[in-house]
């Protein structure tokens, strides 16, 4: 439910910005269908790769996604990867599409975290923090075990991500009003949300595989380094992914708007 609602609201946020760049509603719809499938596959695959011990004795449980176990960052990666061929087919700029999608991606995170808070998921390490979650008695179920005893407090990483991503969304909506190079918004999102996850995961109870950092933190570090470098030193649209600049070929599909103009 959270994934579905997040996609619907995110699409509504994305559409006006996409249309300003000549990306039609039909384009957005086609991309979101593929992105939704890719998000589910990527989210599950990333979780399984980060928690392989959960499936050693019952590998077929990998398919039981309805029982929980998904990765938000894996969902982003899967959605983008699955939508890429359609972007190229329609001769859309990857960077324009992702700029339009960036605020919607933040909205998706926010909606997803509301779902986590409703079912008490991602309960973290013990704490005395006033906003900590009070572990219930054993007869009250939570989405994940509460590592502290009943009545003790634990961190709520999902709540921290919820608050921090609202800040990211506000920044993106403000920056969206200004003219900038294609790719600017998604690079800002990549840096800011990477920083969010790097901070948030310190409060989680998650596998670090002996490195001291979770899989999500390593992904966040790479995202921050790449996006930070581009914002500081390159600050221009990357050469790759500019499929809107391709010459029409026998196998390329043109967007309805472009066909009408031609």
Burial class (CB in 10 A: 0-12, 13-18, 19+), 188: buried
60 C-beta neighbours (distance < 10 Å), count = 7
Q: How far apart are CA 10 and CA 207, in angstroms?
A: 30
Given a contact cutoff of 8 angstroms between Cβ atoms, the answer to whether 62 and 50 are in contact is no
Task: Give the Å distances, CA to CA, from 229 to 15, 144, 182, 191.
Answer: 29, 37, 16, 10
Could you list the pLDDT tens digit for every one of the 262 residues in the chain? 776 787 788 888 898 899 988 999 999 999 998 998 998 898 888 888 877 877 887 888 888 877 777 788 888 999 999 999 999 999 999 999 999 999 999 998 999 899 889 989 889 999 999 889 999 998 998 988 899 989 999 999 999 999 999 999 999 999 999 999 999 999 999 999 999 999 999 999 887 766 788 888 999 999 999 999 999 999 899 999 999 887 665 444 444 444 444 4
pTM, entire model: 0.87
Q: How far apart are CA 238 and CA 220, in angstroms?
A: 20
Residue with the two structure tokens 């070929």 = 249
Given a contact cutoff of 8 angstroms between Cβ atoms, the answer to whether 125 and 19 are in contact is no
Element (H, E) at 153: strand 153-154
Span between the terminal Cα atoms of the chain, in Å? 41
């Amino acid at each position: 439910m959270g994934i579905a609602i997040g996609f619907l609201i995110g699409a509504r946020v994305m559409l006006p910005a996409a249309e300003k760049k000549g990306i039609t509603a039909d384009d957005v719809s086609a991309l979101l269908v593929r992105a939704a499938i890719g998000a589910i596959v990527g989210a599950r695959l990333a979780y399984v790769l980060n928690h392989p011990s959960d499936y050693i004795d019952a590998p077929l449980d990998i398919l039981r996604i309805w029982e929980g176990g998904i990765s938000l960052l894996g969902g982003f990666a899967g959605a983008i990867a699955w939508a890429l061929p359609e972007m190229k087919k329609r001769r859309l700029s990857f960077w324009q599409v992702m700029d339009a999608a960036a605020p919607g991606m933040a909205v998706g995170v926010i909606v997803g975290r509301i779902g986590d808070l409703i079912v008490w998921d991602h309960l973290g390490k013990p704490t005395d923090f006033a906003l900590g979650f009070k572990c219930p008695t054993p007869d009250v179920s939570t989405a994940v075990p509460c590592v502290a005893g009943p009545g003790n407090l634990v961190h709520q990483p999902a709540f921290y991500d919820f608050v921090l991503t609202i800040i990211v969304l506000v920044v993106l909506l403000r920056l969206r009003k200004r003219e900038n190079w294609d790719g600017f918004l998604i690079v800002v999102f990549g840096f800011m949300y990477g920083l969010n996850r790097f901070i948030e995961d310190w409060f989680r109870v998650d596998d670090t595989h002996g490195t001291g950092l979770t899989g999500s933190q390593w992904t966040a570090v790479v995202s921050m380094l790449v996006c930070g470098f581009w914002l500081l030193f390159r600050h221009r649209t990357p050469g790759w992914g500019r499929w809107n600049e391709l010459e029409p070929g026998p196998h390329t599909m043109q967007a309805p708007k472009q066909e009408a103009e031609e």
